[in-house]
Amino acid sequence: MSSINQRQLNRMAALFAKLSDPARLRILQSLREGPLSVSTIHRNCRLKQANTSKHLRVLREAGLVSPHREGTSVHYAISEPLIFGLCDLACGGARKGGAKS
């Protein structure tokens, strides 16, 4: 069994904390098919504009999404595609009753 040091555990816990908000998970899922503008993310996820920006900032700081400007709008894309494996694993466990709320 490989040993995970305290620093790695702290980073993992911080990542899970950032993923603990359903709105952030909705944003990540909305980006699964490709980059979207902030306004499209806002509409698709049914979030207020200010909340969308706040959640995108948290995801950007976590290194999960990256912004790029296209004309006058900002588009976001997934910068760490492995996040979908984690989301799929968690959602699969929840569908099977492995994670109860």
How confident is the model over 40-55, as pLDDT tens digits?
999 999 999 999 999 9
Which domains are assigned to the chain?
7-95 (1.10.10.10)
Q: Which of 33, 31, 15, 45 is nearest to 75 (CA)?
A: 31
Report CA Rg, the chain: 15
Other CB atoms within 10 Å distance of the CB of residue 74:
15
Q: Which of 36, 17, 49, 101 is nearest to 28 (CA)?
A: 36
pLDDT tens column, 36-94: 999 999 999 999 999 999 999 999 999 999 999 999 999 999 998 888 888 888 777 55
Global pTM reads 0.82
What pLDDT band is residue 95 in, cutting at 50, 70 and 90? low
